[in-house]
Each structure stands twice: as C-alpha cells, then as structure tokens.
Amino acid sequence: MIRPARTSPALLGAGLATIYVVWGTTYLGIRVGIETIPPFFMSGLRYMLAGLLLFGWVALRGGLRQGWPSRRQWLSAILTGTGLVALGNGALSWGELYLPSGAAAIFIATVPLWMTLMARVFQREPIRLPAAIGLGIGLAGLVVLVGPAVIRGGDLWAMPACLLAALGWAAGTVYSRSAPFPNNPFQVAGMQMFAGGVVVFLFSVVSGEAARFNPAAVSTRSVIAFLYLLFIGAILGFGVFIWLVKVAPLPLLGTYAYVNPVVAVVLGHFLLGEPVTPRTVIGGGVIILGVALIVASQSRRRGRPAPEGAAAEAVTFSANRESSTARR
C-alpha cells in the first residue's frame, strides 16, 4: 500500500486552500474572459499555450530522454484532450455566456457521478452502496437544478452545454485510465492540454467564431482573466495538485470536487452580482452531497490496494484521470 508522503499540516492546508481557491475562481475567470473574447477561441488559445509551456518545461528538465511520445500516445492525448479540454472547457466556456459562473460550476460538480457510471458501463467497475446512494442523490439534485428551466424553456441550451462539458470531462478521465501515455504526468498534461486546445481552436475557426474575434475590442479585465486562467488556473493549479497527490490522503484531496462549486457560487455572487436563487442552493447542495458520498466511497476502495497505482504510476495515473483539472 502506498501511503502519502509526510508533510507539515500547515503546508498541506496551504496546498488544499490553493486548489479550493484557484479552481473555484476559474469559473469566475472564464465568465470575465468571455465578456470580450469568444469562448471557444479563448479556450483553444489558452490550452495550446499552457500545453506548450508545460511540455517545454518538461523537455528543458530532461523529460524527453526516453524519446519523443509515440503516435499512439499522441492519439491518446488527442482523444482525452478532446474530452477534457475541447468539451470539458470549451462547452463550459460557451455555457457561461448564458449561465452564472456559480451555476455552471455546480453542473461541473456532477463529473464524479458520470465517471462512476462510465466506469461501471465501460470498465465493469462495481458501484458500492454508498456510491449508488450518492448517484441517486446527485441525479435528484440535478433534476431540481434543471427541471424548472426545462419546463419554462429558459437556459435550455446553456444547461445541456455545461452537462456536455461534465460528460466530456468524465469520458476523457475514464479513458485516461487505460490509454497509453508516457510516465511523466506533467508531460502527459502538456500533451493533453495542447492537443485539446488545438481541437477546440480548430472548431472556433471552422464555426466562424475566430473570424469574429476583434483584438481591439478586448477589455483589460478580459486580458487579465485570460492570463490568470493560463498561469494560475492551469499551470499553478495543476502543479499544486500533482504535489498533493503525493502527500495528501485521497479522501481529503477529493474534497476539492465539492468545495470548488461553493467557492464559485460565493465569488460569482459577491464579485459579479450573480443571483443565488433558492433552487440553486437546494439543487447545488443536493448534488454536492451526492458527490461527497461518491468521492468518500471511491477513496476508501482505492485506499486498500494502492491509491492511484504504484510508485511513479501513482502520480501519472492520477494526472491522467485528473488532468481535467488543468483544463480549468
């Protein structure tokens, strides 16, 4: 059994606080960025740059000594990057054109639900009773959140877009478990971000969105938001997460999945004046409760043999499964 490396409680708390705040603020950053930058264009450019920077950093540190990634590994990066970045971030960014950032974050909080279902369907992983209860609770919360909008026809496209983002994120994460990748998790993340960024950028070009981009119309706050998402949300956030994989107990690390939406809702309300309706609070709270049960159940199960694999694979495996976090 692989145990987390020892570290001081203060340092561990600082790392978790960083993940809570940084990833919680990325929804706010996307909302501000797309005020004057087209969503797919911004997502594609951000992740192509983040991928190049991270891959280049790995290369400078000798991470390519074993050779350039193979065609099969690049294909895996394209497939997972499409789910994690092109859908996971591109669709989310488009959805935030019409939904408050806090509400969008709650939809993304359903990712563990879809991951559990996909792992059951495609990889025959059993669903334990607590996880099954969590699935039911989470889906009930989703009905509370989405139901009234479906009845009255409001937000009818934005909500499915955010759900598509969650499904893409989950699919890319589940496929990453068995996809062939290099051993270096930072190299893998760089490949996935770059490949996914290219896919969503090409979509922006083909759809005509990129042609409508006017650099002169971009506001200063959108530029600041873009730079924040690039360097803080993607690169710093992922770096801290990789470190936490090594030192934090999995049940504790998994709490980011239901803390981030709370941070996003609070910041969206106080900084952007986004409304927080009783439906958002109730539906979001029910979803987060369901996610908490699933995360706790999965963490206990993985804690028996090995949290995320063995030795270096412990970090690589988690990076593959969680590099969707870098998409933020």
Q: Which pLDDT score, from 0 to 100, does residue 124 have?
A: 82
Residues with Cβ within 8 Å of 291's Cβ and at least 6 positions away in sequence, in order, are 109, 110, 112, 113, 134, 138, 257, 258
pLDDT digits (tens, 9 = 90+) for 53-106: 999 999 998 888 878 999 999 999 999 999 999 999 999 999 999 888 988 998
Helix locations, 64-219, DSSP H: 71-81, 92-95, 101-108, 111-123, 129-152, 158-176, 185-206
Q: Sorting pLDDT into bands at 50, 70 and 90, what band is 305?
A: very low
Give the separation between CA 72 and CA 123, rounded to whole angstroms.
21
Mapped onto helix, strand or coil, the DSSP state of residue 256 is helix
Q: Which pLDDT score, from 0 to 100, does residue 76 have?
A: 95
**Residue appearing with tokens 């993940």:** 19
pLDDT digits (tens, 9 = 90+) for 160-202: 899 999 999 999 988 988 899 998 888 998 999 999 999 999 9
How many C-beta atoms surround the C-beta of residue 65 within 10 A? 7
Please compute the mean of the pLDDT values over residues 19-31 and round it to a whole number. 94
Q: Where are the domains of the chain?
A: 9-109+166-275+308-327
113-134: b (≥16 Cβ within 10 Å) or e: bbbbbbbbeeeebebbebbbbb
Q: Which pLDDT score, from 0 to 100, does residue 121 have?
A: 87
Distances, alpha carbon 145 to alpha carbons 24, 61, 174, in Å: 19, 46, 25
pLDDT digits (tens, 9 = 90+) for 274-296: 888 888 888 888 888 888 888 77
Q: Sorting pLDDT into bands at 50, 70 and 90, what band is 299?
A: low
What global pTM score does this model have?
0.83
What letter represents residue 187's amino acid?
Q
